[in-house]
C-alpha cells in the first residue's frame, strides 16, 4: 500500500470511532435512564406491590429499556443490520449453546422459575436439603440465606430439577404434638384443658378446627394427639411455645406427663430380706464369695453383684 | 371513654389504666392491664391524646386486613330482595397522639374483646381473618360499646334463588367506624352475586357533634391490587 492509498482510507476511521463513541454514550444514557426508571418504580410501587412482583417489574423495566435503546438507536447508529445480527446471533447461539450448555440450561431454568414461580423472594424453602430464605432469583442462579445465616448460591438448573418444598406457599399450616399422660389420669379432663388453652390462643385458628383426641394406648402412657392450624407467619412461634404451656397447665391440674416405667411380676415368691447388719445377716452366696465376712462395708458390694440383685432388692 | 384528652390524665376502665404524665418537655405514656404493661416516652411532645375505636384487625399483631363475622344462625334472603340485619363486631381501641398541625400517630392499641383468628377458604388460596361470632339481629342490638360495636348490614340478593348466608367477610380497607356516647357503629352492605360469591363494602353515616367518625388506619389504596371491597369467593 502506498502513501496515497493510506491517506485516502483515513477519513473512514474517525467516522467509525465517532459511531462507536456515540453508541457507548447512548448506552450509558440508557443505563442511567434505566436506573432512574428503576428508582422511580421502586418508590412509587413499594407500598402497593409485594417484593417478589416488584423485583420482576424492576428487572423487566431496566433490561427492557436498555434492549429497546439498543435496537432502536444503537444498532442503526453503528450501521449494523438487525436481520444480519439475527443470522449471526443464531449461528453464534448454536456455537455458544454447545460450548456452554450448563449456562444456557441455567438461563432457561431461571426463565421458567420466574414464569412458574414455585418460589418467591422471601419464601422459606427446602431445595435438595438446602433450607433457608430465598434472597434473590437471578437469571443463572438462586440465592438462599440459610437459617444459620450462610449465603448459598444454587444454579437455577438444580433448583428447577430438584424437589422444592415451599414452607410458606400456603396461608396456613398445621403442627402436631403427642402428649402422653399417665393411665391413672383422666384423659377427658386433659383434652378439655388442652382445648381451653387452644381456645385462648388467638392465632390457633378457629377454622380449620383444631384436633385433640386420644390416639393410642401406649406402653407407658395414654397418647393424646394435639393438632393445631396456625397462620403461616405464626406457626413456628406457637409450636415452640404452646407445648410447654400445655405441660405446665396439665401438671397444675394434677395430670402428669408419663415417662417409661416397667412393673415386673415374678412367677414365684421372692426371698427378699433387708440387709441391715452386714456382719450378721450376710447371704450364703455372699459369704462364699466374700470370705472377709467381718467387713462392715459389705452391703454396697452385695448390691453390686449381678446375681445377687434380685435377692437383695427391696419390694 | 372515646374522647380527646389533654395531658396529664389518668383513665381507668375494666381493669385497664391509661395514664399520661408530663416530664419537663416530654410525656410518659403508660398502659397497664392484667396481661401487659406498655410504657412509652414521647420526646418533646405537647399534643393532645385521642382515644377512639379503630378497625378490629390489629391485635395481637396485624397479620390480615379481613374480619370474618360468623352468624350464630344462618340468615335466608329471598331472590331479588334487599334485607337489613344487625351484627356485632369486636372493638379495638386506638390511642393517638395529635400533633400541633392536627396530624396524628397511633401509639397503642388495646381491646376488651376476645381475640381469635380463622381461615376463610382453603389453606392454599384462602385468607386469614379476625374471627367474631355474632347473632344476626333484626333490630338495633344495643351492644356494650366497650366490647362490641354494631354493623347495620344491607344484604342485597341479586340472584334468582333463595340464599342462605352464614358469614360475612369485610376488608378493613374502607371500614368506616362511627362513635357516639352510647353507640359504636358501621354501615355495610353485602351484594350476593351467586352461591359462592358476594361483595361487601362500607357506607357512610351522617356525622354530627354527637356522632363522630373514627380515624382510619387502613385507608383505601390508590391502585386496585388490594381494593377496599371484600370479595367473598369461598362461600357465604
pLDDT score at B220: 62
pLDDT in tens, A95-152: 766 666 777 777 788 777 777 788 888 899 999 889 999 998 888 889 999 999 999 9
Q: How confident is the model at residue A275 (pLDDT cuts 50, 70, 90)?
A: low
Mean pLDDT of A146-161: 92
Residues of A in contact with B126 (CB under 8 A): 171-172
**Cis peptide preceding B8, ω within 30 of 0:** yes
pLDDT score at A139: 80
Picking from B59, B118, B221, the nearest residue to A48 by CB comes out as B221
pLDDT at A24 over 60: yes
Do A19 and A77 fall within a single domain?
yes
pLDDT score at A286: 54
Q: Which of A44-48, A112-116, A172-176, B169-173 has the lowest mean pLDDT?
A: A44-48
Cα separation, A80 vs A15, whole angstroms: 14
Cell of A45: 410501587
Residue B11 maps to a domain: no
Q: How many CB pairs under 8 A join A and B?
A: 53
Nearest 5°: the CA angle A218, A220, A223 is 45
Residue A146 maps to a domain: yes
Q: How confident is the model at residue A290 (pLDDT cuts 50, 70, 90)?
A: low
pLDDT score at B207: 82
Residue A110 maps to a domain: no
Q: How confident is the model at residue B88 (pLDDT cuts 50, 70, 90)?
A: very high
Q: In what order do the strands lie in the sheet with B104-111?
A: B3-5, B48-54, B92-98, B104-111
Q: How confident is the model at residue A11 (pLDDT cuts 50, 70, 90)?
A: low
Q: In what order do the strands lie in the sheet with A222-231?
A: A172-181, A222-231, A211-217
**Distances in Å between the alpha carbon of A303 and those of A7, A194, A291, B129?**
114, 44, 16, 65
- Using an 8 Å CB-CB cutoff, list residues of chain B that contact chain A: 59-60, 63-64, 70, 115-120, 123-128, 131, 221-223, 225
Residue B165 maps to a domain: yes
Mean pLDDT of A294-298: 46
Contacts of A97 (CB under 8 A, 6+ apart): A104
Q: What is the CATH number of the domain that holds A135?
A: 2.30.30.60
Residue B38 maps to a domain: no
pLDDT score at B211: 87
Mean pLDDT of A214-221: 92
Nearest CA distance, A166 vs chain B (angstrom): 12
Name the percent of chain B lying above pLDDT 90: 61
**Cis peptide preceding B60, ω within 30 of 0:** yes
Q: Between these two residues, B128 and A7, which has the higher pLDDT value?
A: B128
Are A202 and B221 inside 8 Å of each other by CB?
no
Do A54 and A88 fall within a single domain?
yes
Cα separation, A124 vs A52, whole angstroms: 13
Q: How confident is the model at residue A262 (pLDDT cuts 50, 70, 90)?
A: confident
Q: Between these two residues, A273 and A312, which has the higher pLDDT value?
A: A273
Residues of B in contact with A170 (CB under 8 A): 123-124
Domains contained in chain B, number: 1
Interface test with B, best of A169, A175, A199, A207 (most B CBs within 10 A): A207
pLDDT at B195 over 90: no
Cα separation, B41 vs A44, whole angstroms: 33
pLDDT score at A68: 86
Residue B215 maps to a domain: yes
Are A206 and B116 inside 8 Å of each other by CB?
yes
Helices (H) and strands (E) in chain B, counts: 0, 19
Residue B2 maps to a domain: no
Mean pLDDT of A8-34: 79
For residue B90, the enclosing domain spans 53-232
Are B119 and A170 inside 8 Å of each other by CB?
no
Strand partners, B39: B30
pLDDT at B197 over 80: yes
pLDDT score at A96: 67
**Distances in Å between the alpha carbon of B160 and those of B75, B157, B200, B210?**
16, 8, 19, 42
How large is the C-alpha radius of gyration of chain B? 19
Interface test with B, best of A172, A199, A204 (most B CBs within 10 A): A172
pLDDT at A46 over 80: no
Picking from B60, B128, B221, the nearest residue to A172 by CB comes out as B128
Are A172 and B126 inside 8 Å of each other by CB?
yes
Cα separation, B126 vs B139, whole angstroms: 32
Residues of B in contact with A206 (CB under 8 A): 70, 116-118, 131
Cell of B173: 380497607
Residue B47 maps to a domain: no
Residue A111 maps to a domain: no
Mean pLDDT of A26-51: 82
Q: Which of A287-291, B87-91, B141-145 has the lowest mean pLDDT?
A: A287-291
Q: Tell me the whole-structure pTM to 2 decimals.
A: 0.72
Cβ neighbour number for residue B90 with a 10 Å cutoff: 23
Residues of A in contact with B119 (CB under 8 A): 171-172, 205, 207-208, 229
Are B124 and A49 inside 8 Å of each other by CB?
no
Q: How confident is the model at residue A308 (pLDDT cuts 50, 70, 90)?
A: very low
pLDDT score at A314: 39
Q: Which of A110-124, A198-212, B160-174 has the lowest mean pLDDT?
A: A110-124
User: Is residue B37 within 8 Å of residue B29, measured between CB atoms?
Assistant: no
Do A69 and A53 fall within a single domain?
yes
Select from B123, B185, B188 the least CA-distant residue to B153. B188
For residue A146, the enclosing domain spans 119-166
Cell of A206: 378457629
Cell of A174: 398445621
CA dihedral A288, A292, A293, A297 (to 10 degrees): -120
Do A61 and A94 fall within a single domain?
yes
Q: How confident is the model at residue A304 (pLDDT cuts 50, 70, 90)?
A: very low
The most confident of A47-51, B183-187, B224-228, by mean pLDDT: B183-187
User: Cell 418444598 belongs to which residue?
Assistant: A165
Domains contained in chain A, number: 4
Mean pLDDT of A69-74: 84
Residue A95 maps to a domain: yes
pLDDT score at B221: 53
Residue A138 maps to a domain: yes
User: Is residue B158 within 8 Å of residue B164, measured between CB atoms?
Assistant: no
pLDDT in tens, A222-249: 999 999 999 999 999 999 999 999 999 9
How large is the C-alpha radius of gyration of chain A? 39
- Computed over every residue of chain B, the mean pLDDT equals 89
**Model ipTM?**
0.88
- Using an 8 Å CB-CB cutoff, list residues of chain A that contact chain B: 47-49, 169-173, 199, 202-203, 205-208, 229, 231, 233-234
pLDDT score at A287: 55
Amino acid at each position: 500500500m502506498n502513501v496515497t492509498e493510506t491517506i485516502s482510507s483515513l477519513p473512514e476511521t474517525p467516522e467509525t470511532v465517532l459511531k462507536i463513541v456515540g453508541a457507548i454514550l447512548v448506552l450509558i444514557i440508557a443505563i442511567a435512564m434505566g436506573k432512574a426508571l428503576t428508582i422511580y418504580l421502586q418508590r412509587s410501587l413499594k407500598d402497593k406491590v409485594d417484593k417478589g412482583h416488584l423485583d420482576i417489574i424492576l428487572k423487566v423495566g431496566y433490561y427492557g429499556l436498555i434492549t429497546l435503546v439498543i435496537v432502536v438507536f444503537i444498532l442503526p447508529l453503528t450501521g449494523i443490520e438487525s436481520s444480519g445480527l439475527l443470522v449471526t446471533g443464531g449461528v453464534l447461539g448454536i456455537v455458544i449453546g454447545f460450548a456452554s450448555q450448563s449456562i444456557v440450561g441455567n438461563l432457561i431454568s431461571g426463565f421458567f422459575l420466574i414464569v412458574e414461580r414455585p418460589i418467591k423472594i422471601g419464601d422459606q424453602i427446602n431445595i435438595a436439603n438446602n433450607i433457608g430464605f430465598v434472597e434473590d432469583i437471578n437469571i443463572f442462579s438462586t440465592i438462599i440465606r440459610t437459617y444459620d445465616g450462610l449465603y448459598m448460591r444454587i444454579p437455577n438448573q438444580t433448583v428447577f430439577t430438584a424437589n422444592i418444598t415451599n414452607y410458606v406457599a400456603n396461608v396456613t399450616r398445621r403442627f402436631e404434638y403427642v402428649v402422653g399422660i399417665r393411665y391413672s389420669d383422666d384423659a377427658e379432663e386433659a383434652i378439655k384443658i388442652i382445648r381451653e388453652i387452644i381456645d385462648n390462643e388467638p392465632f390457633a385458628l378457629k377454622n380449620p378446627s383444631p384436633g385433640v383426641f386420644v390416639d393410642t394406648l401406649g406402653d407407658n402412657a395414654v397418647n393424646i394427639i394435639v393438632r393445631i392450624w396456625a397462620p403461616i407467619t405464626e406457626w413456628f412461634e406457637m409450636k415452640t411455645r404452646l407445648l410447654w404451656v400445655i405441660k405446665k397447665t396439665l401438671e397444675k391440674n394434677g395430670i402428669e406427663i408419663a415417662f417409661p416405667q416397667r412393673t415386673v411380676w415374678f412367677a414365684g415368691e421372692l426371698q427378699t430380706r433387708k440387709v441391715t447388719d452386714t456382719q450378721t445377716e450376710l447371704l450364703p452366696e455372699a459369704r462364699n464369695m466374700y470370705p472377709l465376712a467381718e467387713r462392715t462395708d459389705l452391703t454396697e458390694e452385695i448390691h453390686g453383684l449381678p446375681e445377687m440383685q434380685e435377692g437383695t432388692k427391696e419390694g | 371513654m372515646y374522647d380527646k384528652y389533654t395531658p396529664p390524665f389518668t383513665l381507668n376502665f375494666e381493669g385497664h389504666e391509661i395514664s399520661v404524665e408530663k416530664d419537663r418537655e416530654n410525656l410518659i405514656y403508660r398502659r397497664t392491664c392484667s396481661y401487659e404493661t406498655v410504657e412509652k416516652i414521647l420526646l418533646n411532645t405537647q399534643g393532645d391524646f385521642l382515644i377512639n375505636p379503630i378497625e378490629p384487625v390489629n391485635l395481637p399483631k396485624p397479620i390480615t386486613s379481613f374480619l370474618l363475622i360468623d352468624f350464630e344462625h344462618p340468615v335466608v334472603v329471598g331472590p331479588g330482595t334487599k334485607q337489613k340485619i344487625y351484627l356485632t363486631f369486636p372493638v379495638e381501641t386506638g390511642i393517638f397522639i395529635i400533633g400541633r398541625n392536627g396530624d396524628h400517630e397511633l401509639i397503642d392499641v388495646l381491646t376488651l374483646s376476645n381475640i381469635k383468628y380463622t381461615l376463610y377458604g382453603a389453606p392454599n388460596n384462602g385468607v386469614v381473618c379476625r374471627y367474631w361470632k355474632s347473632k344476626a339481629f333484626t333490630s338495633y342490638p344495643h351492644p356494650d360499646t366497650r366490647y362490641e360495636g354494631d354493623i347495620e348490614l344491607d344484604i342485597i340478593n341479586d340472584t334468582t334463588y333463595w340464599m342462605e348466608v352464614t358469614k360475612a367477610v369485610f376488608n378493613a380497607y374502607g371500614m368506616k367506624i362511627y362513635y357516639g356516647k352510647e353507640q359504636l357503629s358501621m354501615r355495610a352492605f353485602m351484594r350476593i352475586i351467586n352461591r359462592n360469591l358476594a361483595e361487601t363494602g362500607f357506607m357512610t353515616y351522617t356525622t354530627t357533634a354527637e356522632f363522630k367518625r373514627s380515624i382510619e388506619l387502613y385507608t383505601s389504596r390508590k391502585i386496585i391490587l388490594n381494593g377496599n371491597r371484600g370479595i367473598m369467593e369461598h362461600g357465604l
